[in-house]
C-alpha cells in the first residue's frame, strides 16, 4: 500500500525491486559517513549526533543554560519540566554558565566517552546570547578536548554567526520545519522580532528568511550544519522533501527528520488540538524520499535540553547540582585519561569498519537473493553489538534487511514517557507496549529473551532470537535474514506485508 | 503605572533583557517588576516589551490588573479546548 501523502516517493518494496537504494546508509558496506568527504568525516567521527556509527560508542550532554525563547512553536510548551518526560524543551534544573562549566567537566571526567557538549535550550540558545556564549567561551578554554555545538531555531542566527565562529563551534543545528511562510504559520503562532510580537504568515516569513540567511552564513564560515525538521502529518509532511532539497543545495550536510511528539498532557497546541504524530512507516517513507537528495540522520533520540550520556540513555540524575558540588575534578588528569580512551574507541571503530567492509564484499560476491525486505529490531547498549536482554531494553534499533544488505532505519522506544503503566494508560503491560512498539518487525535480536515474552512475541508474529549475542549488529541481522530466506519465509509479496503493517 | 508579573511566570528570563527600564529582576519564586522603575515602555516602545516576548498567557498584568496576553492569545488553543483537555486528564 502506498501512503497517500507520499505517493511521489518510492516505497521500500520498490527499493528492493530496483536493486538499489538512494540512501547513503544503504547496504552493509556503506554507512552514513562513508559518502562524506574526509574533512567532514574527521569532524563528526566521534560526534554521536552527527554520525550513526559514533552513536554506538560516544556520549553527549546538553547543559540547560538558555531558558528564554524568541518564538513559539506549536509542539512546545514552556510550562512543564517533568523529570519522566524526554523531549526537547524539557529540563529539571536551569544552570548558570558557571554551573554548566562545572557540570560539563564533572561529566567529562566520569563518562570519558562523552565527547560533545551541546546547548539546546530549554529555550533558544541564541535568544540567550550572554549565557550561551559565556558557557562556550569558558569551556573552549578550560576543557579544550570537548566538542561544542549548538542548536537553534535560527531567528537570531545571522547575528550570532561571528561569535559562534570565534568559540570554535563547528557544529550547528538549525530546526527548519518549512521554507514556505504559509506552512510556517501553521507551526509558529508568533515570533518576537524587533521589539514586537509578530503573528501568522508575517512572523513565519521573517523566521524562514533568518534561518536561510543563517544557514548560508554558517556554510560560508565553514561551519558544519545539520538541519532538524519535525514531521507534522497534514502540516509539513509533503513539504519536507522540498526543505531537504533547499538546505542541501545551500550546503547543510545532514538532515534529521524527527517525528512530532504531541500528547494532550504536554499542554502544547498540537497535543491539545489532537494533532497526531507520524507512524514509523510514514516517517521512514519520508526519510527515504529525502535520502535521494540528502544525507539523512535516523538515529536521533529527540533528547531533553539537559540530557547526559549515550543517546537513548539519560544519566542526568548522577550529575545534579548538589552532586557536582561535592565532586573534585582534576581536569588535566581527566583529559589524559579521556585521550587514551578515545584513541582505544577510535581504533575499535576503525577495525570494525574494516571488518564490516570485508563482510560486505563477501556478501556482494554471493548470489543475490530475490526476496522481500524485512524489518528487525535489535537490543543493544552500544559498541555496535547485540548485547542487551530483551526485558532490559528501553529502546530497540530497527534495521532493514534486503537483498542489497542491511541498513539502519530508526529507533523505537519500548517504554512510555511517563514510565508507569500502573498510574496511567489503560492497564496495558510494559510487555504489551513493547510488542506494540515493534509492529512491522518480523524478528527481534537480543542477548536473551525470557519465556513469557518469547511466547507473546511469537504470537505477535515477531520471531525472538537470542542466538547472536555479542555479534556485530549488521552481521547478525544479515544472518537471520538469510535463515529466513532459506526457510522460504520471504516469498510473500511485499505489498501485503506493507499493508498489514501500516 | 506599572505592569505586574504573577505566579504563572515560568522564570524563562525572556522579559528581563528586553525591558527598556531595567525594571524586571530575577526573584523567588518568580521574576518581579519594580513598580517604581516600570514606565510601561512609554517613550521607548509602543507596546509592552515584556508582554511581547512572554510565552505564558496571563503571566503579566497591566495596571488595571488585566492579563495583557489573555488565554488563547499566544498558543492559539481555544480556552474551552484547553479546559476540556485538562478535565479529561484529571478524570484518569
pLDDT digits (tens, 9 = 90+) for A27-64: 333 445 556 677 777 778 888 877 888 888 888 899 99
b/e A327-358 (16+ beta carbons within 10 angstroms → b): eebebeebbeebeeebeebeeebeebbeebee
Is A273 in the B-facing interface, judged by CB distances under 8 Å? yes
Pick from A202-206, A295-299, A426-430, A492-496: least confident? A492-496
Which one, of A299, A290, A331, lies nearest residue A142 by Cα? A331
- Residue A107 has a pLDDT of 94
- Residue A372 has a pLDDT of 92
First CA to last CA distance, chain A: 8
Which one, of A307, A312, A288, A317, lies nearest residue A13 by Cα? A288
Q: What is the DSSP letter of A264?
A: G
Q: What is the DSSP letter of A275?
A: P
Grid coordinates standing for A455? 511466547
Distance in Å, alpha carbon of A264 to nearest chain B alpha carbon = 6
Is A82 in the B-facing interface, judged by CB distances under 8 Å? no
Query: How much is the average pLDDT of A278-303?
Result: 83
User: SS3 string of chain B?
Assistant: CCCEECCCCCCCCCHHHHCCCCCEECCCCCCEECCCCCCCCCCCCCCCHHHHHCCCCCCEECCCCCECCCCCCCCCCCHHHHHHHHHHHHCC
Dihedral class, residue A173 (left if φ above 0, else alpha if ψ from -120 to 50, else beta)? beta
Distance in Å, alpha carbon of A111 to nearest chain B alpha carbon = 30
ipTM over 0.90: yes
- Residue A501 has a pLDDT of 46
Contacts of B56 in chain A (CB under 8 A): 78-79
Q: pLDDT grade, residue A423 (50/70/90)?
A: very low
Q: pLDDT grade, residue A298 (50/70/90)?
A: confident
Instruction: Name beta bridge partners: B67.
Output: B61
Of residues A192 and A264, more confidence is placed in A192
Instruction: Flag if B89 and A264 touch (Cβ within 8 Å).
Output: yes
**Whole-prediction pTM:** 0.83
Instruction: Name beta bridge partners: B61.
Output: B4, B67
Q: pLDDT grade, residue A428 (50/70/90)?
A: low
Q: pLDDT grade, residue A489 (50/70/90)?
A: confident
What are residue A151's phi and psi, to 5 degrees?
-125, 135
Residue A381 has pLDDT above 50, yes or no: yes
Residue A165 has pLDDT above 80, yes or no: yes
Q: pLDDT grade, residue A227 (50/70/90)?
A: very high
* Pairing mode of beta strands B4-5, B60-61: antiparallel
Grid coordinates standing for A257? 527528520
pLDDT tens-digit readout, B5-37: 999 999 999 999 999 999 999 998 899 999 999
Residue A216 has pLDDT above 90, yes or no: yes
Instruction: Flag if B11 and A67 touch (Cβ within 8 Å).
Output: yes
Find all residues with CB under 8 Å of A434, minimum gap 6, and list them: A393, A414, A415, A453
Query: How much is the average pLDDT of A448-469?
Result: 92
> E strands of A1-50, at which residues?
none
Instruction: Flag if B76 and A189 touch (Cβ within 8 Å).
Output: yes
Mutation site, B47, B48, B77, interface A, largest A CB count within 10 A? B77
Residue A304 has pLDDT above 60, yes or no: yes
Residue of B nearest to A74 (CA): B75
Is B73 in the A-facing interface, judged by CB distances under 8 Å? no
Is B21 in the A-facing interface, judged by CB distances under 8 Å? no
- Residue A10 has a pLDDT of 37
**Residue A445 vs residues A37, A279, A360, B45: alpha-carbon distances, Å:** 33, 22, 20, 62
Residue A4 has pLDDT above 50, yes or no: no
Mutation site, B15, B48, B76, B78, interface A, largest A CB count within 10 A? B76
Average pLDDT, chain A: 84
pLDDT tens-digit readout, A57-106: 888 899 999 999 999 999 998 875 554 455 555 566 789 999 999 999 99
Grid coordinates standing for A43? 569532524
Dihedral class, residue A222 (left if φ above 0, else alpha if ψ from -120 to 50, else beta)? left
b/e A123-152 (16+ beta carbons within 10 angstroms → b): bbbbbbbebbbbbbbbbeeebeebbbbbbb
- Residue A500 has a pLDDT of 47
Of residues B89 and A28, more confidence is placed in B89
> E strands of A159-276, at which residues?
171-175, 190-193, 196-199, 224-231, 254-259
Alpha-helical segments (H) within A80-231:
97-110, 129-142, 157-166, 181-184, 200-220
Contact A431, A393 (CB under 8 A): no
Residue A471 has pLDDT above 90, yes or no: yes
Domains belonging to chain A, first-starting first, are 1-30+369-502 (3.30.420.130), 31-323 (3.20.20.70)
Mutation site, B8, B85, B86, B90, interface A, largest A CB count within 10 A? B85
Q: pLDDT grade, residue A431 (50/70/90)?
A: confident
Q: Where along chain B do its domains lie? A: 1-92
Distance in Å, alpha carbon of A239 to nearest chain B alpha carbon = 23
Q: What is the rounded distance in angstroms from the CA atom of residue A127 to the CA atom of residue A156?
A: 7
Contact A20, A404 (CB under 8 A): yes
Is A153 in the B-facing interface, judged by CB distances under 8 Å? no
Is A194 in the B-facing interface, judged by CB distances under 8 Å? no
Q: What is the rounded distance in angstroms from the CA atom of residue A501 to the CA atom of residue A485?
A: 20
* Pairing mode of beta strands A171-175, A224-231: parallel
Of residues A303 and A324, more confidence is placed in A324
pLDDT tens-digit readout, A124-139: 999 999 999 999 999 9
Mutation site, A68, A95, A130, A421, interface B, largest B CB count within 10 A? A68
For B1-92, the fitting CATH number among 3.40.50.1240, 3.90.1150.10, 3.90.1710.10, 3.30.70.20 is 3.30.70.20
Q: What is the DSSP letter of A27?
A: T
Amino acid at each position: 500500500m502506498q501512503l497517500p501523502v507520499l505517493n511521489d516517493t518510492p516505497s521500500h518494496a520498490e527499493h528492493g525491486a530496483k536493486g538499489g537504494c538512494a540512501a547513503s546508509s544503504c547496504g552493509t558496506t556503506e554507512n552514513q559517513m562513508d559518502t562524506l568527504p574526509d574533512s567532514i568525516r574527521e569532524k563528526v567521527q566521534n560526534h554521536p549526533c552527527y554520525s550513526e556509527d559514533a552513536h554506538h560508542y560516544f556520549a553527549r550532554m546538553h547543559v540547560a543554560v538558555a531558558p528564554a525563547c524568541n518564538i513559539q512553536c506549536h509542539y512546545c510548551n514552556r510550562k512543564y519540566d517533568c523529570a519522566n518526560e524526554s523531549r526537547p524543551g524539557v529540563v529539571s534544573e536551569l544552570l548558570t554558565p558557571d554551573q554548566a562549566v562545572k557540570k560539563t567537566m564533572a561529566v567529562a571526567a566520569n563518562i570519558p566517552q562523552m565527547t560533545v557538549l551541546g546547548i539546546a535550550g530549554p529555550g533558544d540558545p541564541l535568544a540567550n546570547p550572554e549565557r550561551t556564549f559565556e558557557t562556550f567561551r569558558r569551556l573552549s578554554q578550560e576543557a579544550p578536548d570537548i566538542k561544542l555545538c549548538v542548536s537553534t531555531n535560527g531567528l537570531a542566527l545571522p547575528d550570532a554567526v561571528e561569535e559562534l565562529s570565534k568559540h570554535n563551534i563547528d557544529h550547528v543545528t538549525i530546526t527548519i520545519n518549512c521554507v514556505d511562510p504559509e506552512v510556517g504559520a501553521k507551526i509558529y503562532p508568533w515570533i518576537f522580532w524587533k521589539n514586537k510580537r509578530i503573528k501568522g504568515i508575517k512572523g513565519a516569513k521573517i523566521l524562514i528568511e533568518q534561518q536561510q540567511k543563517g544557514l548560508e552564513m554558517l556554510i560560508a564560515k565553514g561551519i558544519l550544519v545539520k538541519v532538524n525538521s519535525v514531521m507534522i502529518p497534514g502540516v509539513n509532511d509533503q513539504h519536507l522533501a522540498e526543505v531537504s532539497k533547499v538546505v542541501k543545495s545551500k550546503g547543510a550536510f545532514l538532515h534529521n527528520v524527527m517525528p512530532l511528539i504531541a500528547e494532550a498532557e504536554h499542554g502544547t497546541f498540537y497535543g491539545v488540538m489532537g494533532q497526531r504524530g507520524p507512524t514509523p512507516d510514514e516517517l521512514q517513507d519520508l526519510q527515504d524520499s529525502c535520502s535521494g537528495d540528502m544525507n539523512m540522520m535516523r538515529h536521533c533520540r529527540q533528547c531533553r535540553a539537559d540530557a547526559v550520556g549515550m543517546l537513548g540513555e539519560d544519566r542526568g540524575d548522577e550529575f545534579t547540582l548538589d552532586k557536582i558540588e561535592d565532586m573534585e575534578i582534576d581536569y588535566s588528569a581527566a583529559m589524559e585519561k579521556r585521550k587514551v580512551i578515545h584513541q582505544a574507541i577510535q581504533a575499535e571503530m576503525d577495525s570494525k569498519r574494516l571488518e564490516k567492509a570485508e563482510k560486505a564484499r563477501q556478501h556482494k560476491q554471493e548470489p543475490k537473493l530475490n526476496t522481500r525486505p524485512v524489518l528487525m529490531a535489535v537490543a543493544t547498549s552500544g559498541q555496535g553489538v547485540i548485547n542487551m536482554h530483551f526485558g532490559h531494553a528501553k529502546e530497540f534499533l530497527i534495521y532493514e534487511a534486503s537483498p542489497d544488505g542491511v541498513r539502519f532505519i530508526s529507533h523505537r522506544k519500548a517504554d512510555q514517557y511517563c514510565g508507569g503503566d500502573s498510574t496511567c494508560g489503560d492497564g496495558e503491560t510494559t510487555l504489551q507496549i513493547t510488542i506494540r512498539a515493534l509492529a512491522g518487525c518480523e524478528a527481534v535480536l537480543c542477548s536473551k529473551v525470557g519465556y513469557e515474552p518469547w511466547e507473546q512475541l511469537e504470537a505477535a508474529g515477531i520471531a525472538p532470537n537470542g542466538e547472536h549475542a555479542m555479534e556485530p549488529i549488521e552481521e547478525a541481522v544479515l544472518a537471520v535474514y538469510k535463515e529466513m530466506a532459506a526457510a522460504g519465509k520471504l516469498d510473500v509479496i511485499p505489498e501485503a506485508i506493507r499493508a498489514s503493517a501500516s | 503605572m506599572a505592569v505586574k508579573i504573577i505566579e504563572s511566570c515560568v522564570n524563562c528570563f525572556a522579559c528581563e533583557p528586553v525591558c527598556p527600564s531595567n525594571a524586571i529582576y530575577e526573584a523567588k519564586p518568580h521574576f518581579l517588576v519594580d513598580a517604581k522603575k516600570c514606565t510601561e515602555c512609554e517613550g521607548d516602545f509602543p507596546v509592552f516589551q515584556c508582554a511581547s516576548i512572554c510565552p505564558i498567557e496571563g503571566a503579566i498584568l497591566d495596571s488595571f490588573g488585566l492579563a495583557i496576553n489573555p488565554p488563547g492569545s499566544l498558543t492559539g488553543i481555544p480556552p474551552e479546548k484547553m479546559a476540556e483537555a485538562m478535565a479529561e486528564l484529571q478524570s484518569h
